[in-house]
Amino acid sequence: LARTCRDIAKHLPDSCGAMVVIPLYASLPPAQQLRVFQPGSRKVILSTNVAETSVTISGIKFVIDTGMVKAKRFNPDSGLEVLAVQRVSKAQAWQRAGRAGREDSGSCYRLYTEEEFDNLIPMTVPEIQRCNLAGVMLQLMALGIPDVMNFDFVSKPSPEAVRSAVDHLELLGAREEGWPGWTHRSGEKMANFPLEPRYAKTILLSPDFSCSEEVLTIVSLLSVDTVLYNPPARRDDVLAARKKFMSSEGDHMTLLNIYRAFKKVGGNKEWCRENFVNSRNMGLVKEVQAQLKKSLESCGSDTGSVRRCLAHGMFVNAAELQPDGSYVALDGRQPPAYVVFNELLHTSRCYMRDVCLVDADWLLDAAPEYFARKLHLGKS
């Protein structure tokens, strides 16, 4: 968005008068988000779908709709959730058009044909029909629902998605295979956390690795919108700032380093600006920590314990290095053979987001049958 803003501003004709070009998206720092509301100038606002319903900006006369949106989509066959760019629904298209002329007449220009509009689905697919249901199924079991496989949802998800969610919970040890109840108390404990089951499992395992404090911090960081922002116009400055915190062991360790530095300076806003850290979202991290915090134990500088714990809790999101070298380690040396990741982003290619270097042995220890079946690994 920032790059497009610069391109538009560069090509504005002299005859158009004073005009500012501003980006708007959820992870943008609050001070920069407020620029869209400042009066006194003509504005071109390049926004994600955050402006579709979440924000009302007065004075908008024209809307240009690309007809695309970035949304999560779950594949029950692979068990992976992907953040992908896809077509909007007709309801979303009309909602976008409604952003123009809320106070006066306005116009909407759609960058797609009438035929393409007619072929759009009428309504947005409900989230429960396109996302991972593991957390939903865990809560249903916690409520004592006897037959979660046949629960009567208002918007019914596919049987494959329900089965995949239950299989996922069985892999995490939250439910005993072939039995409607819990495996001892692990699933019940996981349901007490307002988190995705894999995060809850990771926290519950952290005392075994003496790294509860670090894991709680990492899970809190992953549970909020991104705490970092990367203005393309200052790419070199961003890289220089991140280099101070970067870890060759993966993004999770890098995030942990950034949070520790943020905490050391007392959340100083000037420090956040200099290091391209979203101070508001960092504040939310502290709130999530306080909500989850009970008895914590620190592993000190033993990052291996943290990574082993992440491997045991997030093993379903593991990836193996392919012969074509699809990803590269942060320090530029030989890429790690195995990583765990937080989510997948699908654009023209599929990218892992928030990756952590792990050993094959840790994955085998976490779920030996799963990896023997899925990845054909062997202990070295």
pLDDT exceeds 50 at position 378? no
pLDDT band at 113, cuts 50/70/90?
Answer: very high
pLDDT at 353: 79
Full-prediction pTM beyond 0.75?
A: no
pLDDT above 50 for 59 = yes
Residue 78 has pLDDT above 60, yes or no: yes
Stronger pLDDT, 319 or 284, i.e. the higher one: 284
For residue range 180-210, what is the model confidence (pLDDT) as tens digits? Answer: 555 456 788 888 888 889 888 888 888 888 8
Q: Residues 293-345: pLDDT tens digits?
A: 754 445 556 667 777 777 777 766 776 666 665 543 323 344 557 788 877 77
Q: Residue 244: which of 230, 261, 228 has the closest Cα? A: 261
| pLDDT over 70 at 50, yes or no | yes
Please give the pLDDT value at position 92.
Answer: 94
CB neighbours of 213 closer than 8 A, spacing ≥ 6?
Answer: 296, 297, 298, 299
Q: pLDDT > 70: what percent of the chain? A: 84
Cα-based angle 354, 340, 227 (whole degrees, multiple of 5): 20
Cβ atoms 238, 7 nearer than 8 A = no
Q: Are 82 and 72 in contact (CB under 8 A)?
A: yes
Cβ–Cβ < 8 Å for 248, 333? yes
Q: What is the C-alpha R_g of the chain? A: 23
Contact 319, 213 (CB under 8 A): no
CA dihedral sign of residues 346, 350, 354, 358: positive
